[in-house]
Amino acid sequence: MQKMPKWADVALIPLINILIAFTLSGLIIWAIGGDPFRALKTMVTGSFGSTNGWGYTLYYTTNFIFTGLAVATAYQARLFNIGGEGQAMLGGLGVALVALSIDWPHWAIALPAAAIGGAAFGAFWAVIPAYLQAKRGSHIVITTIMFNFIASALVGYLLLNFLKVPGNMSTESAGFPAGTNLPTFSDMLAPFGITFAKNAPANISFLVALACAFGYWLLIWHTKLGYQIRAFGQSETGAIYAGINPVRIVVITMVISGALAGMMALNNVMGEAERLIDNAVEGAGFIGIAVALMGRNHPVGIVLAALLFGFLFQGGSELSLWEGIPRELVVVIQGLVILLTGALDNMVRGPVERLFLMLHKGEA
């Protein structure tokens, strides 16, 4: 007998988790002397009240869709990829190298080239931990954490010694050529007669992210490889018995995962900064964990969870601007969401299951 209907598992429990996380965050705001309701209002108007707000919200959302998909892909094979941060950093390097290599004539040519560059570098950074996990049994969680730090040192070194413009004070690469500048929402919506804030960073890579979400859905549920990945995730011994090569699955899964994280650089490096800066990822790789957990590893869930975190990120900077509440509040909410949906899941699930059982008995 099923303990509870599917909708409760997919929608109700995440909703209860968010509600608890928001309530706790509200209590924190109240405890530090703020007004939680006014804070919520500031966040909502700041992120959805204007096209400028939307532009930032969707820009962050794009980042989180990429990293959320990266974590979710790995999770289908029950691999916990904490290395999205480092993979996205390397992706930025790949995108920057492609963008700076030649004088690109048009963004439509530069975009796929940069996507390949970012994906390849991100995948490269994921494939080493994957190989070590599959062949040498070193735990992928620890190796990907280590690789985050190594990536940060590596990119910092390359920026400082090779990519930095001589004589320039700030640690950043040269600006990308004009032919790589991606169309923003303002450029994209103008032909339809819709005016969108000109300076908002949301750009065409949002559509790339949505396409990736669709591709993820196709891959995981409608291809042989996806089936193998899920089978491996459900039961490693069962998968091996069915003739699935575990080394191959672990490596391929992590290559896809790393490539998705690396492609995030299309948005933040190519779309927004238009040059490679130090620490460009800003923790988006870690937010991917929260997004994947909350989205229950389903593409629709991931896009919605990414939108939620995009809202939190943009709303958080509005909070620090207008209410004097540090934007680190978002990190607190992020921690609470990960804790509640990931680790304390059974705390919410148990009572809800019992509730449904009781209702069920009442009917019978």
Partner 1 sequence: MDFLTLIQILDSTVRLATPLLLACLAGLYSERAGVVDIGLEGKMLVAAFLAGAVSYVTGSVWLGMLAAIAGSTALSMIHGLASITFRGDQLISGVALNFLAAGLTVVVGQAWFGLGGRTPSLSNGGRFEPITLPFADAVADVPVLGPIYEELISGHTLLVYVAFALVPLTWWVLYRTRFGLRLRAVGENPSAVDTAGISVVRLRFTALVIAGVLCGLAGAYLATLAAGFVKDMTAGRGYIALAALIFAKWRPWYALSATLLFGLLEAIGNRYQSIEIGAFEIPVQFMQALPYILTVVILAGFVGKAIPPRAGGSPYVKER
Residues facing 203 on adjacent strands: 184
- Residue 164 is classified by DSSP as B
- Residue 242 is classified by DSSP as T
Nearest distance in Å: CB 290, partner 1: 8
Q: Cα–Cα distance between 308 and 66 in angstroms, integer? A: 14
- Residue closer to partner 1, measured from CB, 209 or 339: 339
Q: ∠174-180-186 over CA atoms, to 5°?
A: 115
156 part of the interface to partner 1, by CB under 8 A: yes
Among 22, 332, 356, 360, binds partner 1 (CB under 8 A): 332
| Listed residue (127, 142, 86, 116) closest to 261, CA to CA | 86
The mark string for 27-66 relative to partner 1 (x by CB under 8 A, - otherwise) is -x---xx---------------------------------
Q: Cα–Cα distance between 276 and 154 in angstroms, integer? A: 13
77 part of the interface to partner 1, by CB under 8 A: no
293 part of the interface to partner 1, by CB under 8 A: yes
141 part of the interface to partner 1, by CB under 8 A: yes
User: Near partner 1 by CB under 8 A, which window of 97-105, 144-152, 224-232, 299-307?
Assistant: 144-152
Segment (H or E) for 161: none
User: Near partner 1 by CB under 8 A, which window of 52-60, 99-107, 138-146, 354-362?
Assistant: 138-146
User: Near partner 1 by CB under 8 A, which window of 44-52, 54-62, 142-150, 302-310?
Assistant: 142-150
Nearest distance in Å: CB 131, partner 1: 9
Q: ∠166-172-176 over CA atoms, to 5°?
A: 95
Among 49, 183, 246, 342, binds partner 1 (CB under 8 A): 342
- Per the CB < 8 A criterion, the answer to whether 76 and 300 are in contact is no
The SS3 assignment for 354 reads helix
- Residue closer to partner 1, measured from CB, 102 or 160: 160
Q: Which parts of the chain fold into alpha helices (H)? A: 6-7, 13-31, 36-48, 51-76, 84-101, 107-136, 140-158, 185-189, 205-222, 224-234, 236-241, 246-263, 265, 284-294, 299-322, 329-338, 345-363
Among 60, 147, 216, 311, binds partner 1 (CB under 8 A): 147
What residues make contact with partner 1 under the rule CB under 8 A? 28, 32-33, 80, 82, 132, 136-139, 141-143, 145-147, 149-150, 153-154, 156-157, 160-161, 286, 289, 293, 324-326, 328-336, 338-339, 342-347
